[in-house]
Amino acid sequence: MAPQRRPLPRSPDSAGPGPGRGGRRHSRYQRGALAVTSCPLSRGRRAQAWWCCDSRGSPGGEAVAQRRARAGTAAPRVRGSPVSARAVPPRSHRPSLTGPALCSFLSARKGRVQQDPRGKWLKAAILLLLSAAAGGGLLVWSRLRTQDGIPEGGIPENGVPEGTVPEDGVTEVLAHRSDNLRDKFVEIPCSEDYDSHKRFAGCTPRKCGRGVTDAVITREEAERIRRIAERGLSLGGSDGGASILDLHSGALSLGKHFVNLYRYFGDKIQDVFTEEDFALYRDVRQRIQQRIAQVFGISSSAMYLTKPTFFSRMNSTGAKTTHDEYWHPHVDKVTYGSFDYTSLLYLSDYSRDFGGGRFVFMDADSNKTVEPRAGRVSFFTSGSENLHRVEKVQWGTRFAITISFSCDPEHGIADPIPGWP
């Protein structure tokens, strides 16, 4: 008996009869077929949809086999394929690509994959909205960073730029720090505050307004005056952000209270202040008084220095008592009935020595700000026509001296002298 030929073993991941005995050899190719029903990259496993293509060159080749089964026809099986048979194009048309590359090739060749134009517009709209939101966020952040003289990236060595964002309402800058003003004056109508007080001819305001000048006190003189303030305030200082030194009454901030520095320190004061210090103080006061009289058209001799006249030192430390809350709007004539004319001599520079701390006139239509500059004098009539406040200091230290004048001789005070009082 002739020996029987054993059928050739089939690969464990092949399905259906192979080329061995008892099986009819199938042609690997079927004319006109473009279906790939299993992935060459997934032998031994069920075909993954994203690896394979159907007859349209789209993912999901198994769908072709299912449609053939429902129609009663079966695709020829190929050795080495899973249970689902694989039909491939004729050799003359078969691309030398497999797996994902084949999917891409067939998709591009057939041009079946099309994008919905509505999807393009939707994506463009979403990108536009995201860009607008990002731009708005950057703008808000930039504004918050630049408020009160603090620029993006922190405080540079040479200070910060001018033109900051106002804290509230519309703000106009009456005097920039970089301006060098000979005289700048704005006349405004007087309030009725002066009618409730005794009038003094040749002194009580009939012409009201506000002025700024950089031509009365030099920068060097302002620095010398500042050193007087620094030495005196070094003896005490408030626990909060605002400290005062009054050389006339001797009032000095100390913790949460005030002390009389002349009594508290006694003879030690002679080692702190010199006769030259007091002489400079008197000379500066007299020049400011004369400029105010000239601008308002009154007699300088009819004006009297009045209290409180004091040095102020402000920083960003939080307030500990109401005396530290210097930023509230107020009217000098209402707070101190003796005031008729108020002046401030600035001893440090806005945006270089400190941030914030601008002087703000609060008018009905807008705010008018004065940016401090060492040696700059700001002066104004003390009634309600000049409602004002000081911005909170954000960083650094702001030095100034408030010098007040009254038309009533009964409220006049003398200049300080060594060993006072």
Catalytic residue among 210, 285, 291, 398: 398
Type of residue found at 151: P
Burial 198-218 (b: 16+ CB within 10 A, else e): eebeebbbeebbbbbbbebbe
Distance CA 337, CA 332 (A): 8
Kindly report the number of other CB atoms within 10 A of residue 356's CB atom. 23
3-state SS, the chain, equals: CCCCCCCCCCCCCCCCCCCCCCCCCCCCECCCCCCCCCCHHHCCCCCCHHHCCCCCCCCCCHHHHHHHHHCCCCCCCCCCCCCCCCCECCCCCCCCCCHHHHHHHHHHHHCCCCCCHHHHHHHHHHHHHHHHHHHHHHHHHHHHHHHHHCCCCCCCCCCCCCCCCCCCCCEEEEECCCCCCCCEEEEECCCCHHHHCCCCCCCCCCCEEEEEECCCCCHHHHHHHHHHHHHHHCCCEECCCEEEECCCCCEEEEECEEEEHHHHHHHHHHHCCCHHHHHHHHHHHHHHHHHHHHHHCCCHHHCEEEEEEEEEEECCCCCCCHHHCCCCCECHHHHCCCCCEEEEEECCCECCCEEECCEEEECCCCEEEECCCCCCEEEEECCHHHCEEECCEEEECEEEEEEEEECCHHHECCCCCCCCC
What residue type is 153 in one-letter code?
Answer: G
Q: Are 111 and 121 in contact (CB under 8 A)?
A: no
Distance of CA 83 to the CA centre of its chain: 67
Q: Is 231 a catalytic residue?
A: no
State both tokens at 23.
């099986």
Q: Which of 395, 160, 236, 164 is nearest to 246 (CA)?
A: 236
Provide the annotated active-site residues. Answer: 398
